[in-house]
Amino acid sequence: MQVGKLVERWRGAGMKVGFVPTMGALHQGHLSLVSLALGEADRVIVSIFVNPSQFDRGEDLSSYPSNFDEDLKKLDEAGAHCVFFPSVDEIYPEGFSTSIHVSGLTDTLCGRFRSGHFDGVATVCAILLSIVRPDIALFGRKDAQQLAVIRRMVDDLRLGVEIHAGDIVREPDGLAMSSRNSCLDPEERKQASVINSGLSRAAELVLEGERDAERICSAVREVIDKASLATLQYLELVDPDSMKPLSKLTTPALLAVAVYFGHTRLIDNLILEP
């Protein structure tokens, strides 16, 4: 049965439908979104689609981790009611020529370094939401800029979907769970916990009364620089809604970071409250 018709049948029975879009290589962070959706909806659909349009020239789409059979097993155990795994041709049929650009929000942080990435994200999410037509869709807070972009896109296009966010899920050493973590070699994986250590240092400074963005970021850089394999791409304190840089912490703000370990790029963030 086509996913759209399945949703219509559920809706006809008075059921609320939740949707969790993923690119596969599922970990506990994804499964926490499924659990959250199960608590808020009667039926939950999870999509698995590695979206080619959000990878720029400097990234290797073919190297993105994948384990489809294991993903299906995890989703079955998690209680998902349907897994939607469209082909590239289903999402981007011959002659497809549309792209969605969310201006402003995509100019900072990851948007400065990943040309076209958020256009690809916004476009594929609009397509998936249009196909599935859920009542709610769930995304993780680890991809904070992506979350803001999707919320704006959904509001601007009046897609009629509630966007809910799930908290960051971390490994025991504090590293944010990510499909890309599996690409780290043992030493890179060991050092990668320095990202959370840096964010924790920022939280300590704020509790001590620090409000200057540059001093907060400088302290985080010092921590991350102690990892010999870490290459900091960006570290900024920004408004969590507009993604614009802040010089002072006067309202809740997003401290966002991207770090390379070898060829693997990891992102993380923390909300700081004055």
Residue from 27, 30, 81, 117 carrying the catalytic annotation: 30
- Residue ranges of the chain assigned to CATH 3.30.1300.10: 179-272
Q: What's the angle, vertex CA 235, arms to CA 231 and CA 236, rounded to 5?
A: 170
Residue count (the chain): 274
Q: What's the angle, vertex CA 164, arms to CA 126 and CA 202, rounded to 5?
A: 110
In order of 115, 119, 138, 182, 265, the CA distances from 54 in angstroms are: 9, 7, 19, 20, 15
Q: Are 240 and 253 in contact (CB under 8 A)?
A: yes
- Relative to beta strand 43-48, strand 253-261 is unpaired
CATH topology of domain 3-166: Rossmann fold (3.40.50)
CATH of domain 179-272: 3.30.1300.10
Q: Are 255 and 268 in contact (CB under 8 A)?
A: no
Q: In this predicted structure, what is the pLDDT of residue 57?
A: 63
Give pTM, 2 decimals: 0.95
Distance CA 220, CA 236 (A): 10
DSSP 180: G
Which residue from 187, 186, 189, 160 is spatially nearest to 172, judged by alpha carbons? 189
pLDDT digits (tens, 9 = 90+) for 168-217: 999 999 999 999 999 999 999 999 999 999 999 999 999 999 999 999 99
Q: In this predicted structure, what is the pLDDT of residue 56?
A: 77
164 is catalytic: no
Q: Which residues of the chain carry a pLDDT beneath 70?
A: 1, 57-59
Token pair for 53? 């349009």
Q: In this predicted structure, what is the pLDDT of residue 261?
A: 97
Q: Are 101 and 126 in contact (CB under 8 A)?
A: no
Number of other residues whose CB lies within 10 A of the CB of residue 263: 12
- Residue ranges of the chain assigned to CATH 3.40.50.620: 3-166
**How far out from the chain centre does Cα 218 lie?**
25
Q: Are 38 and 164 in contact (CB under 8 A)?
A: no
DSSP string, 101-159: --TTTTSSTHHHHSTTHHHHHHHHHHHHHHHH--SEEEEETTSHHHHHHHHHHHHHTT-
